[in-house]
Structures are given as C-alpha cells and as structure tokens.
Structure 1
Amino acid sequence: MTAEESAQVFRLAYVPGVMPAKWVRVFEERRPGVAVELVDCPAADVARRLRAGLVDAALARPDVGDVDGLSVIRLYDEVPVAVVPKDHVFTAVDEVAAADLAGEQYLLPDDDVLGWTGNPGTVIEHRPETTAAAVELVAAGLGVLVVPMSLARLHHRRDLTYRPLADGPAASVGLLWVAAAGDAPTPELVEEFIGVVRGRRPGSSRGQSEPAPKRSAKEKAAARRASLEASGKVPPRPAKGGKSSGRSQPSKGRRRTGR
C-alpha cells in the first residue's frame, strides 16, 4: 500500500431506500487502502453535490432531477407498491393493478420519485413535504401512497402494509458521476467503482469506450441475482454460518456522514 493510496477517500452518496453495502464491500476488498465515506443524500440534491465535487459518485434514481453533464449506468428497476393501512381492502390480495386505485385518495409528496401521471386515483390537494410525512398520513387513513418497495420498507410501520402494483411505474436506480470533459479520463476510484457495479473482475476496470468482457453463465447468474436482491424482487440469500437479516449493514469502522 502506498502513502498516496492510504490518504485517498472515495465519497459515495446514496439516496433513501438504496443500499450500497454490497458494492462497497467489494470495492473495499479491491482497494483496502482507500477510505469509503458514505453520504446519505436527499434525491433532489444528488446532482448539485456531484457537480460541486462534494461527492465522487452516487447511487441514486437518475430519473429524478437534472442529470445534464452526468454519466449514468442504470443498475436495476425498483418494484412499485401501494402503501395502505393493514385493514385496507388491498390486503385481501397479493398484488393490485393501477385500475384498482380508481376511487382512492392518492397522496403525492413533494419528494416523489416516480413521477406517475397515469394514476387513476384522486390526488389529494395537500402535498406532504416528504415521503415520511406521506406515510404518516396513510396511517391516519387519509389516502394511498405509491412508492418503490425500498421506500416502503424504509418507512415501515406496524399499522401499515403494502402490495406490489403490477402495472405501476418503475423507478430506476443507477450509478451517477460527473462526465469527463474532453479527453480527460474518469477518476481512478470512480472507474474502479464502475467496474464493481458492472461485475468486472479485479484489474479489468477501464474506460467506457472499451467493450465489456464476456462473462460466464455463473457470473451472469450472480450479477442477475444481485440486481434482483437490490430491487426487492427476491429475498437476500442467508449469509454463511447464519441467517440473513434482510438488510444490508455498513461495514464496521466506515464513516457515515450527511452534508
């Protein structure tokens, strides 16, 4: 490990509901001398922090906000769900369709990440500032909330539940970073992290213009499984020697900060 590498810090922002632990764990294994700084970031502030150089990259929803001048790798689509009280009629079925929302009062928070314009429900005039505030109003019986499954899990309450929305809007999750200007190369640590999320083997990270290497069927299956786990479509596999808690936890000793 060089003195220069030991002084390096990789600052990774992530938005609510996105769990970066599995990618960060692989990155730390490949670059043990680099400190990873995780930055919990509101979805609407991701682009500003990237352009200002406050973070090096971000795991976010690229369809939310302005992404001009940013490079994006889309990783997976999140499952949309309808959040309702536990005594709601939706709880009688395993999933609902958009048409089932007709006649329902629909809550639309200011930090909505879906941008769904085809909801047949009646949008309540009052718009809560945050998804967390909207969840509180659902618990009070004021309406239904449609969000990615990850946000429904993040704001879980015992008196609420959710059902997948079969034909609802999907929210993409991707890796974002500032696009290189002209012939300038992508920063080394960003390129390394790109290699991690793309499933490249150690030492194979390179510019986007080069073709991706062919992967074995086993590697493709592992990458597919990771995307499905991240999107909530399948439960995480139990860890060796014990059962999985279903939640990714930050590595011991890693700094976590909000700005």
Structure 2
Amino acid sequence: MTSSEEPSSFRLAYVPGVTPTKWVRIWNERLPDIPLTLVAVPAAEAADTLRDSGADAGLLRLPTDRTGLSAIPLYTETTVVVVPKDHVVATVDELSTEELVDDVVLHPLDDTLVWERLPGRPAVERPATTADAVELVAAGVGLLVVPQSLARLYHRKDLTYRTVSDAPRSGVALSWPEEETTDLVEEFIGIVRGRTVNSTRGRPRPQEGTKGDQPADKHRKGGQAKGKRTGAGTARRKPAASGSGGRNTRGGSGGSGGTGGARRGRPRRRS
C-alpha cells in the first residue's frame, strides 16, 4: 500500500450501463468497516477521473486512453440497434450494418463505439448524449447502435433492440492509477475476479485466522465427545455383564446349589 494510513472509504467510479451491484454487495459483506462510495461518471470522463484521483478505481469502457492507468478487461458486450417496435428491423433476431444502409442512424457525442465507417445515413445533427438519441428514436427520427447494456439502461416500452452481428463492440474493464495499487484496490480486484475470502489478496483480516482454527477446535471437541461416548458405552456394558453374572450366580445358588443344599439338609420322613 502506498500509505500507512487506512482510508476511511473506497471510491469506485462507473460508467452508464455498467452495474456494480453484485461486487458492492460482496465488498460490504467482507469489509463492513470501509464504506464503498459509488461515483457515476460519463464514459468519456472516466479515465481522467481516475488520473485526477477522483476515484480509487473505476469500471470504464474500452477502448480508452489508458495512459498512467492499469486495467483488467472484464467482458465484451454485444452491440445492438435500438428501433421502434413497429420498425421492420424488429421482425428479425439479428442483422448486419449493411441492412441499415437506408436508415438514419444517430451518432451521439458520447458514443462509446469506435467506427471505421458509420452505418446508415447520418442525421442532420449529432445528439449530445445517448439518452437524447434514444428519445429521438422514439420520435421516429432515426435508429441508434449501442452496447446492449445501454439499450437496457434507456429502455422504453415503445422501443426494442436487435443484435448487429458485424458492429464494433465495447469492452468493460476495471481500472486504477498505476502508482496507486493499494491494498483496497487489491481487495476489489479479488472480488471482481471471484476470489474467495481466504484467497483474496490484500490486508489480512483477523477473522480469517479465527475461522481457520475452528475446524481444529471442533476436531478436538469431537475427540473428547467420542471418548466420553466410548467410556459411557463401556460403563453400560460392565453393569450388563455384572448383572448377567449376578443372575447366573443367583441362578446357580437358587437353582442348582441352593436347591441341592436344601435337599441334602432336609430330614427324610420315616415311614
């Protein structure tokens, strides 16, 4: 860790369409004493937010300028076209960019896709944001090609989307400043990569050692309990053997020895 002082919180930046809910929940379970603060940032500003120390780590879109940043690619999204539900495109499951050649395709200023050649016909003006572009699609102005998570984020009942097979794709990565790979950053890397509590790199937690000792304690207690059960079983068997022996003795004295003695000691009647 670059500092000996433990920070009071961990700041995680994330861009539209990325949902860190699961990872935040795991963080809160493992490190309840260190709050995780979410910082929502536009996709185009995510890298600069990390470089300017606006967050400790971030979930951003690739490709991006990664100067001074470390990054771990997490996944790549399917690209879709957003259309009105009554559009002809809605009748198919998948299409190519060539099939959009006669349509106006909106290209917002915050587009996260890197195009060699834009599909369809250009609009008169570029919408400022993807959210604005979605509203224009609903108004019948044109269509919009975006990562699937953004189509879901800005979903409307009157719109739908279909996969575009040959469109460029947007990746999502976990990133942080190269010189700030702190213990808490390592903790979050472990969570994102699915490491268990015991295998997660980062600051050691006392409860891990305690949990590790519990099986040994249980084993010792189990051994003691087993010994008691063995002893109890022996004790139960001994009285049973003693009782059996006692009955045999009494049976011998009362049946054979006792009766025989009585016959020998009984005076015969004289006729």
State how 1:30-69 maps to structure 2 within 5 Å.
30-64=30-64, 66-69=65-68
Residues 46-80 of structure 1: CA deviation (Å, up to 9, x unaligned): 1221112121000110314x221101100001111
Query: 1:173-192, aligned counterparts within 5 Å?
Result: 173-180=172-179, 186-192=181-187
Q: Deviations over 1:130-176 (max 9, x none)?
A: 00111111111111100011111111112111111122211000101
One of 181, 189, 198 as aligned partner of 1:194 = 189
Checking the alignment, whether the CA contact within 8 Å between 1:12 and 1:55 is kept in structure 2 is yes
| TM-score, normalised relative to structure 2 | 0.69
Structure 2: how far apart are the matches of 1:200 and 1:118?
41
Whole-angstrom CA distance in 1 between matches of 2:19 and 2:121: 32
* Structure 2 unpaired stretches of 5+: 203-271
- Count of aligned residue pairs for this structure pair: 199
- For the pair 1:73 / 2:72, whether they are aligned, the reply is yes
Using the TM superposition, give the Cα deviation of residue 120 of structure 1 relative to its aligned residue in structure 2, in angstroms: 3.4
Structure 1, residues 229-252: CA drift from partner, whole Å, max 9, x if none? xxxxxxxxxxxxxxxxxxxxxxxx
Contact kept in structure 2, 1:62 and 1:176, CA below 8 Å: no
- 1:84 and 2:79 matched: no
Secondary structure at the counterpart of residue 128 of structure 1 = coil
Q: In structure 2, what is the Cα distance between the partners aligned to 1:177 and 1:125?
A: 38
List runs of 5+ in structure 1 lacking aligned partners: 208-259
Backbone CA RMSD of aligned residues = 1.9
Q: Distance in 2 between matches of 1:62 and 1:91?
A: 28
Secondary structure at 1:75 match in 2: strand
Structure 2 SS opposite 1:135:
helix
Q: Which structure has the larger Rg over C-alpha atoms?
A: 2
TM-score norm. by structure 1 comes to 0.72
- For residues 119 and 13 of structure 2, the distance between their equivalents in structure 1, rounded to whole angstroms, comes to 34
**Partner SS state of residue 157, structure 1:** coil
Secondary structure in 2 matching 1:122? coil
For 1:129 and 1:119, the matched residues in 2 are separated by 17
Contact 1:43 1:60 in 2 (8 A): yes
For 1:143 and 1:10, the matched residues in 2 are separated by 41
Contact 1:101/1:119 (<8 A) preserved: no
Structure 1 residues 240-255: aligned runs within 5 Å: none
* CA distance, structure 1, for counterparts of residue 115 and residue 67 of structure 2: 22
Q: Report what 1:97 is aligned to.
A: 96
Q: Comparing both structures, which one devotes a greater share of its residues to helix?
A: 2
- 1:235 alignment partner in structure 2: none
Conservation of the 8 A alpha-carbon contact between 2:47 and 2:60: no
| In structure 1, distance between residues paired with 2:152 and 2:75 | 17
1:5 to partner: Cα distance: 9.3
Note the C-alpha offset of 1:6.
8.8
Distance in 2, matches of 1:135 and 1:116, equals 19
Percent identical among aligned pairs is 54
How many Å separate the matches in 2 of 1:141 and 1:57? Answer: 39
1:187-237: per-residue Cα shift (whole Å, max 9, x none)? 111111011111222243449xxxxxxxxxxxxxxxxxxxxxxxxxxxxxx
Whole-Å Cα distance in 2 between the matches of residues 72 and 8 of structure 1? 24
AA matched with 2:86: D
**Matching residue's letter, 1:94:** D
**Ranges of 4+ aligned residues in structure 1 off by more than 4 Å:** 4-7
Partner of 2:215: none
Q: Which structure exhibits the higher relative contact order, with contacts defined as CA atoms closer than 8 Å and separated by 6 or more residues? A: 1
